[in-house]
Amino acid sequence: MKITKEEVSHIASLSRLSFEPEELDVISLQLNDILIYIEKLNGLDTSGVEPVTHAHDLVNAFRDDEVKEWLSNDEAMDNAPQSDNGQFKVPRII
């Protein structure tokens, strides 16, 4: 196995996701298949090749330091499941 069930659980908890044990089995197997497939890339000799971070070779896109208004508070709250006094209301974490 390329990835253990423990690792999958760990990533799930970092992502605030929870799975039933059966689901965890299925996901682990699927992730394992994906990793085996991706591993084919390791067969290539990449010594002397600079790591690529972006698919195109554009560099240096900047904005000037100017302020623009965009959303009102009402608009900002539009998608919030719960809000109060112009603030997003969320379950307390710590």
Q: Which residues of this protein are in contact with other proteins, per CB under 8 A?
A: 10, 14-16, 53-56, 58-68, 70-73, 76-77, 84-94
Q: For the chain, what's the residue count?
A: 94
Quick one: how far is CA 83 from the chain centroid? 25
- 5: buried, middle or exposed (CB in 10 Å: 19+, 13-18, 0-12)? middle
Cβ distance to other proteins smaller for residue 41 or 94: 94
Cβ distance to other proteins smaller for residue 22 or 52: 52
Shortest Å distance, C-beta 94 to other proteins? 5
